[in-house]
Amino acid sequence: WQKREISNFDYLMYLNTLAGRSYNDYMQYPVFPWVLADYHSETLNLTNPQTFRDLSKPMGAQTVERKRKFIQRFNEVEKSEGDLSAQCHYCTHYSSAIIVASYLVRMEPFTQTFCSLQGGSFDVADRMFHSVKSTWESASRDNMSDVRELIPEFFYLPEFLTNANHFELGCMQDGTVLGDVQLPPWADGDPHKFILLHRQALESDYVSAHLHRWIDLIFGHKQHGSAAVEAVNTYHPYFYGDKVDLNNIKDPLIKSTILGFISNFGQIPKQV
């Protein structure tokens, strides 16, 4: 990878596989980074560092104000083992079954998966994945319970961005009827162009030079412990599979609560 003999995409897939992530498990689906921060320009400039997301920071620390709020949350919560209010920066996760299904909701079998996770129907239209730009703004700036990253399909599968099956996904409060995913101006409304440019961004010189920092956060030494605290990158203890020994928990209510927590909110990849 360092010699550029394999692509960034292939290397990330390799790491996901090593860390136990699989297309066969929505709860441990391959996780990929947001690489861009520019979803408003008419043309995409891959030579400008300002075009890109800060890969050295998790999604919860992309802005100074947001980072400050998560550090404040961490400092305010007392350590309490086996409690839902354990000390951490994030009580939600960057990858979960519902995040995966929401991204791919316009394609079967993910449509049915999403509906079953939602209790049998689509979510409220305003909460559905409908715009790449607004999803980035939510995950990087606006929503304190949203720190989601991306999935591999954002770099090779234009079909998930179109509502080819004509599902009735609802109508937003501003009157917008949900259909195809709204793309950034630089994609010219073309899902194929979006995927092409997005993949070029992933393989760009800037991302190649900084991707190892994101890998440290997700798969490496900044995943947990003091390095994670310093990097504002700690998650609820239940998200760390190796920290929860269900065999030693005798109370069935607590055990089912933990299992529900894990299945709903995702898991940290195995450390590589």
Structural domain boundaries, residue 104: 8-265
Tell me which residue of 28, 29, 46, 25 sits closest to 37, measured CA to CA: 46
Residue 5: is it exposed, middle or buried by C-beta count within 10 angstroms (0-12/13-18/19+)? exposed
250 in any annotated domain:
yes
- For residue 56, give Cα distances in angstroms to 161, 214, 218: 28, 6, 11
270 in any annotated domain:
no
Residue 103: is it exposed, middle or buried by C-beta count within 10 angstroms (0-12/13-18/19+)? buried
What is 169-203 written as a DSSP string? --B-TTSPBP-SPBPPGGGTT-HHHHHHHHHHHHT
CA 114 to chain centre: 16
In tens, the pLDDT along 88-125 reads 999 899 999 999 999 999 999 999 999 998 889 898 99
Q: pLDDT band for 215, please (50, 70, 90 cuts).
A: very high
**Which CATH number fits the domain that encloses residue 61?**
1.10.1540.10
272 in any annotated domain:
no
pLDDT at 255: 77
231 in any annotated domain:
yes
77 in any annotated domain:
yes
Give the helix/strand (H/E) hosting 102.
Answer: helix 97-103
Find residue 177's DSSP bridge partners. 171
pLDDT at 231: 97
Number of domains in the chain: 1
Round to whole Å and give the CA distance between 233 and 116: 31
pTM for the complete prediction? 0.92
182 in any annotated domain:
yes
112 in any annotated domain:
yes
1 in any annotated domain:
no
